[in-house]
Structure 1
Amino acid sequence: MNKVMNRIMHFVVYAFKAIDWPLFIILLLFAGLGMLVMHSAVGGYDGRFIGQARNFLIAFCVMWFVALFPPSKIMKIVIPFYVLGCLLLLAVLLFGYTSKGATRWLDVGFARIQPSEMMKLCVPMMLAWYFDKHRSDLRIQDFFIAGVLLAIPFFLIIKQPDLGTALLVFATGFFVIYFAGLSFKLLTPIFIFGLIFIGLVIHFEPMLCEPGFDWVILHEYQKTRVCTLLDPTSDPLGKGFHTIQGMIAIGSGGVYGKGYLQGTQTHLDFIPEQTTDFIFAVFAEEFGLYGSIFLLILYTLLLARCFVITMKAKTQFGALLAGALGMMFFFYVFVNMGMVMGILPIVGVPLPFMSYGGTALVTLGIAAGLLMSISNYTPSKPSS
């Protein structure tokens, strides 16, 4: 009996130590704030509010479970998970479930799964593992191989099509490659080309956005999103409606906000997708500039903790993965807030720990668990 009790106590102590408390406290604040805003967005305690509470509970349980495993054990499953993810993406293209013109899901009978979500974590984990294995003799061809490992899931997701998720996967993988030692000089020409390309698109916008003009590299709905970004007033009651209503909600909040549960754009249902992609518009309308600054401070604390974990990581794998996950959070926030404020095209990117969504929250929970695992890992000393 004593042995059983000792084992239980040992596990409880181990589980308690697996938590990175600064990160955990920040996530608790996000959970409380997220549920507060969700209550206003849904207008009460309906099924979606209860569902989000369940999603947070599952995400925290998954986070804790992942945090129990040291990076050395996580590295052993990286390759199988990456291969499985790529095979599932291929299966989606062959016999996936189609909804609203996109084939992104697999119907497995009891549920529909979206394999592209798991690649947001599998890709940076795979690349971090690869660079960790080659850290002693890193060569230029290793960066080429890493680029191939990144390109495979990226193009499989593009084919679905799911540009938003593809960009997130590409961003997290790219940051691993950059942190591994990719020279900034190699990126400068790409950066300059990007600026020139954006300038040309803005200059020739009237011609490029004419009906029937084929962009070739983009689907029609993607072309529409870019053109709507350039001029949302061209179709204020159609394609530009989402962008315009999001900007109106944010602007009408002013400095102090209209007050909790007092958002007219929200409760008169002018804000589209107000529990998911546009939840920041709900928050900004009711809490105003000061509330938005508080939210940005909270995200800054989250990113700061990620980078502290990155700097203190004991292994190359941990440092690269933690840095990439921190930048993933940043990319989520930047893209979501940018599209709601009308400075980026509308893509299906949720606001971390605020938007409704079980899959997205579980993905973020796994990411937080990986960060905690890296934070608390101390390599065992070799026996003499």
Structure 2
Amino acid sequence: MHRILSKTKGDRWIWLIVIMLCVISMLAVYSSTGTLAYKRGVGTESILIKHFFMMVGGVALMYIAHKLDYRYYAGISKMLMVVTIPLLFYTLAFGSHVNDASRWIAIPGTGLTFQTSDLAKLALITYLARTLSRKQENIKDVKQSFIPIMGSVCVVFILIALANLSTALMLFGVSILLLIIGRISVKQIAVVCLAGAVLLAGVIFLGPRRATYMSRVNTFLHPEKVDKDKSFQSDHAKIAIATGGVAGKGPGNSTERNFLPHPYSDFIYATIVEEYGLIGGLFIIVIYLFLLYRCIKIVTKAPKAFGALLAAGLSFSLTIQAFANMAVAVGLGPVTGVPLPLVSMGGTSILFTSVAFGIILSVSRHIDENEALKGAGGKEGAKKVVVGEILEVA
């Protein structure tokens, strides 16, 4: 165990958060997949084993991502954007249709599906962090800085929003936060927001899923005026939370898991609260808030703009997604298909969330190494710090 821990670097609290979320995920998924196992004609243990190996794969990717110097992600971001935009177009045109939405690409010969919006989130955040950090000297220049930034944000937003509006809105919000941190002027940010509002109106009123979006918003705002079939998911999520009480029904004793359509992904928080009560629900909230706190500390300590923007963007994305999932479960927002990061059962969501954690830990590792070198003093330590600073500028 000591040998394993000695090879992991970065913020130890974030590693602990990851371990806790993985344990919670295993317990919640095992408890909530009984109906899914019955429909597939398999045992619950087989689904749990598959989920376990997906978690192991995610942790392995996290380890690899945290060992790679975070400054190399600046170059990778350009390649990711070049790959992501065509993939989003391909998904809209030829992707697998589930619930009237084309969000997935089937991976030939594996039986697995790949959700391109997960890649798009990582690509856009890393690209914005790179662009904002490298354009600081002429950040007010419209042609050199603003147009490339606005174009990337709006293109990715519209391509995701046509099939997955909730994810697109969260990513757009994270992008605006990065623009604020990156010293983009208020006028330019207002222009981006206006462009986003126009695109959002077009998606809601003219997009291929306009009927679904309008129905979900109407169900959320006026649940008493719609058919019970339309409010079925939110109603049973509220029942699960209400019957959980303070201490919950106990692990494996959820009853609403048999009625909720996706108790292991979209509504896994409702299942957790039903089984572990208000205490369990608050514990999950505290974990994600503590994650945000640790990431903010990394942002404030990062010596260069790229590391700070990268850690800020990824941490905002993870926490906003987490609270969006929990808000839907408790009835504070319309029903969406947003998973709870590193807790909900899923494939690409777990893998890309793990990579995001790994990149944040890479930034933290770089900070720790710099502090250790500066603390050691001496000519050799000073030389290493200077080399690191030169690489950062390059």
Q: TM-score range by the shorter chain?
A: 0.7 to 0.9
- The 1:70–1:190 alpha-carbon spacing in structure 2 relative to 1, beyond 3 Å, is closer
Instruction: Classify the secondary structure of the residue corresponding to 1:376.
Output: helix
Q: Which residue of 1 aligns with 2:377?
A: none
**Percent identity over the alignment?**
28
| Residue 130 of structure 1 pairs with residue 131 of structure 2 | yes
Structure with the higher helix share, 1 or 2: 2
Shift of 1:333: 1.6
* 1:117-159 Cα deviation digits (max 9, x unpaired): 1011100100110011112232152234312111111111223
Preserved contact between residue 150 and residue 192 of structure 2 (Cα < 8 Å):
no
Alignment partner, residue 158 of structure 1: 161
Aligned residues: 351
SS of residue matched to 1:104: strand
TM-superposition CA deviations, 1:318-350 (whole Å, max 9, x none): 101111111112211221111111121111100
1:97 corresponds to: 96
Q: TM-score, length-normalised on structure 2?
A: 0.81
SS of the residue corresponding to residue 273 of structure 1 reads coil
The SS at the match of 2:15 is: helix
Deviations 1:219-242 (A, max 9, x none): 101111101101223345311100
Between the aligned partners of 1:29 and 1:260, the Cα distance in structure 2 is 16
**1:306 paired to 2:309:** no
Structure 1, 103-112 or 244-253: larger mean CA deviation: 103-112
Q: Distance in 2 between matches of 1:71 and 1:354?
A: 25
* Alignment correspondent of 1:247: 238
The alpha carbon displacement at 1:59 in A equals 0.6
Instruction: Give the secondary-structure state (helix, strand or coil) at the position aligned to 1:367.
Output: helix
Q: Distance in 1 between matches of 2:17 and 2:336?
A: 27
- Flag structure 1 segments of 5+ consecutive residues without an equivalent: 1-11, 195-213
1:13-59 per-position Cα deviation (integer Å, ceiling 9, x unaligned): 99815343221111101111111122221248432222221111011
Please give the per-residue CA displacement for 1:77-99, whole angstroms capped at 9, x wherever unaligned. 11011111111112223433333
Structure 2 CA distance for partners of 1:370 and 1:190, relative to 1, 3 Å: closer
* Residues 154 and 108 (structure 1), Cα distance of their counterparts in 2 relative to 1, 3 Å cut: same
Is the 8 Å Cα contact of residues 256 and 290 (structure 1) preserved in structure 2?
yes
Kindly indicate whether residue 379 of structure 2 is the aligned counterpart of residue 381 of structure 1. no
Q: 2:172 aligns with which of 170, 173, 180?
A: 170
Name whichever of 142-151 and 115-124 sits farther off: 142-151
Task: For 1:76 and 1:216, locate their aligned partners in 2 and report how far apart those are by CA, in whole Å.
Answer: 37
Which residue of structure 2 lines up, in the alignment, with residue 55 of structure 1? 54
Kept in 1, the 8 Å contact 2:298–2:311? The answer is: yes
The CA RMSD over aligned residues, in Å, is: 2.8
Match status 1:232 vs 2:237: no
2-side partners of 1:354 and 1:54: how far apart?
14
Deviation at 1:380, TM superposition (A): 4.1
Aligned 1:57-72 pairs, distance under 5 A? 57-72=56-71
**Take 1:250 and 1:54, find their aligned partners in 2: how far apart are those partners?**
30
CA–CA distance in 1 between the matches of 2:75 and 2:192? 35
In the alignment, the residues of structure 2 paired with residue 283 and residue 99 of structure 1 have an alpha-carbon distance, to the nearest angstrom, of 26
Q: Distance in 1 between matches of 2:192 and 2:74?
A: 32
For 1:186-201, list aligned pairs within 5 A.
none
Deviation at 1:107, TM superposition (A): 3.7
Deviations 1:88-116 (A, max 9, x none): 11222343333332222334523543222
Could you tell me how far apart the structure 2 residues matched to 1:381 and 1:15 are? 26
Q: Which amino acid aligns with 1:37?
A: A
- Tell me, in whole angstroms, the C-alpha distance in 2 between the residues paired with 1:74 and 1:14: 24
Equivalent of 2:323 in 321, 334, 345: 334
2:149 partner letter: A
